[in-house]
């Protein structure tokens, strides 16, 4: 098998890169082994929420200069401020074209409401997710927070109590209620099955739509705005939008404990776009090793293609971090298992000294989380100190940043993915 580009990993980074390449007329294959981080994420995408110093980011444009000063090893610092902003804006356009219903822009972060009633700065949020802007625009300061009877991954009382602590919502009235849906009794028999994905499947296909509409209206009482756990609509936001229309209420949905419907929807929409553009998804397969000619990768072997390798002109590593097995921590060193690439991390991290991997304060950012492969400004990787001209890395497999602490996981994924697509396509 021969392709223009082979991408290893089908998460947010791999799919974004694949879509952009297919749009340029390249023949791409994505080899993908399993679930991705996006299936567990909140659905909101962070570009840069916090600097390494801990300072909150309001204006992303200004903060990128400060980031370069504080963390020259960060992928944004390596790519440069103009490139980061250009590719983030390109992703905003792609998200609109894919109908991902994302709101927000690089002009500045907004604050979304978290399921525990916190406020978190982020770049893009699904328009169904409550934000400070949505709440302050409500005509009446009354919100009904509705759980589902027996579903413990969403706690309305906790959410209401914590939201009341914020000054801007101190005079809001949050009422609590629960949807009683007898059709879900079947799932309740096994608590491990009582999850957002199973509930969504059942609600979409086995319950009368009108019954659900009535139940929400009744539980909402006099409130015109309602918060629900994200359990409505598995493939996209259409089912949730229909509920919104039929109830005549301002409905909002909050991410639940993983797996998260809001992330899963985005993942499904990205996969289907890649395939519609003619890309080949090789699901359930795993890249295991590569063969090189000089400094170039020429073919890779997978668990299903041990004898018949897959060759391409360009290879993109989008295998994620430890969470997705894109990186592996052995006793003596952190490694990248397919190509054995050079590894870096934040300032105090040394891949071959495990005493530098962790911070003894449990709640502090852990240095191992910044581990990943070394890249240059074209996202080409490095092996034994030498740049590999036809092997690129995108997303969480790259080193030098703390995705959770700095709130930049999705941003790094899409910015590097679109940078690599531009490099390979040669299109500015
Ligand atoms: C629980 C959780 C919550 C998060 N919440 C947020 C959030 O609210 N906002 C935000 O911006 N970011 C969030 N993130 C981070 C963000 O989701 C990730 O940074 C981003 O999705 C990473 O995408 P990726 O494509 O680089 O990697 P991944 O999503 O990890 O994808 C890598 C894929 O490669 C596959 N793979 C690995 N090795 C191989 C191989 N050898 N062969 C074939 N396939 C392979 C894996 O199975 C996986 O499917 C969250 C992450 C997690 C884990």
The pLDDT confidence band at residue 11, using thresholds 50, 70 and 90, is very high
Distance 165 CA to ligand 1 centre (A): 33
DSSP, res 303: S
What is the rounded distance in angstroms from the CA atom of residue 34 to the CA atom of residue 14?
13
Contact 329, 372 (CB under 8 A): no
Contact 6, 316 (CB under 8 A): yes
Contact 118, 169 (CB under 8 A): no
If one residue of 30, 35, 38 were mutated to test the ligand 1 pocket, choosing by the most ligand atoms within 8 A of its CB, it would be 38
Q: Above 80 in pLDDT, residue 252?
A: yes
What is the rounded distance in angstroms from the CA atom of residue 361 to the CA atom of residue 378?
36
* Residue, of 238 and 347, whose pLDDT is higher: 238
Q: Above 90 in pLDDT, residue 150?
A: no
Nearest CA to ligand 1 atom 31: 11
Choice among 141-155, 176-190, 335-349, 353-367 with the minimum mean pLDDT: 176-190
pLDDT at 427: 45
CB of residue 6 inside a 6 A radius of ligand 1: no
pLDDT digits (tens, 9 = 90+) for 274-285: 999 999 999 999
pLDDT at 209: 86
pLDDT digits (tens, 9 = 90+) for 301-342: 999 998 899 999 999 999 999 999 999 999 999 999 999 999
Q: Above 70 in pLDDT, residue 428?
A: no
What is the rounded distance in angstroms from the CA atom of residue 49 to the CA atom of residue 329?
28
Q: Which atom of ligand 1 is nearest to the CA of 337?
A: 41
Q: Rounded to whole angstroms, what are the CA distances from 193 to 149, 186, 219, 240?
A: 14, 9, 24, 22
How large a percentage of the chain has pLDDT more than 70?
Answer: 98
* Residue, of 423 and 151, whose pLDDT is higher: 423
Distance 98 CA to ligand 1 centre (A): 20
Nearest CA to ligand 1 atom 27: 320
Q: Encoding tokens for residue 214? A: 């009535």
The pLDDT confidence band at residue 191, using thresholds 50, 70 and 90, is low
pLDDT digits (tens, 9 = 90+) for 112-145: 999 999 999 999 999 999 999 999 999 899 999 9
């Amino acid at each position: 098998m021969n392709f223009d580009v082979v991408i290893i990993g089908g998460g947010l980074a791999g799919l974004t890169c694949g879509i952009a390449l297919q749009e340029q007329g390249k023949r791409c294959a994505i080899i993908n082994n399993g679930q991705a981080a996006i299936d567990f994420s909140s659905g909101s995408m962070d570009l840069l929420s916090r600097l390494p110093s801990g300072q909150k980011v309001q204006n992303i444009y200004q903060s990128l200069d400060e980031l370069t000063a504080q963390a020259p090893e960060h992928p944004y610092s390596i790519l440069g401020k103009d490139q980061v902003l250009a590719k983030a804006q390109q992703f905003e356009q792609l998200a609109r074209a894919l109908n991902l219903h994302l709101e927000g822009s690089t002009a500045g972060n907004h604050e979304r409401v978290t399921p525990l009633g916190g406020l978190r700065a982020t770049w893009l949020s699904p328009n169904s997710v409550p934000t400070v802007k949505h709440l302050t625009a409500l005509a009446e300061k009354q919100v009904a927070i509705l759980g589902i009877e027996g579903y413990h991954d969403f706690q309305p009382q906790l959410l209401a109590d914590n939201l009341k602590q914020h000054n801007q919502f101190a005079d809001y009235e949050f009422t609590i209620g629960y949807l009683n849906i007898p059709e879900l009794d079947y799932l309740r028999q096994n608590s491990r099955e009582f999850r957002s994905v199973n509930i969504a499947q059942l609600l979409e296909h086995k319950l009368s739509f009108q019954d659900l509409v009535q139940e929400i209206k009744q539980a909402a009482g006099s409130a015109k705005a309602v918060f629900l756990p994200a359990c409505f609509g598995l493939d996209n936001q259409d089912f949730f939008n229909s509920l919104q229309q039929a109830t005549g209420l301002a409905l909002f949905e909050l991410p639940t404990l993983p797996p998260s419907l809001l992330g899963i929807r985005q993942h499904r929409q990205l996969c289907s776009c890649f395939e519609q553009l003619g890309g080949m998804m090789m699901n359930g397969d795993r890249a295991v090793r590569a063969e090189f000619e000089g400094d170039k990768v020429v073919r890779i072997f997978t668990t299903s293609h041990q004898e018949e390798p897959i060759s391409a002109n360009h290879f993109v590593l989008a295998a994620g971090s430890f969470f997705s097995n894109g990186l592996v921590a052995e006793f003596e060193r952190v490694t990248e298992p397919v190509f054995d690439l050079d590894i870096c991390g934040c300032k105090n991290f040394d891949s071959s000294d495990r005493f530098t991997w962790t911070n003894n304060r449990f709640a502090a950012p852990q240095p191992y989380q910044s581990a990943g492969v070394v890249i240059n400004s074209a996202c080409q990787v490095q092996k034994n100190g030498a740049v590999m001209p036809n092997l690129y890395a995108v997303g969480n497999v790259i080193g030098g940043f703390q995705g959770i602490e700095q709130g930049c996981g999705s941003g790094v994924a899409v910015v590097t993915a679109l940078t690599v697509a531009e490099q390979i396509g040669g299109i500015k």
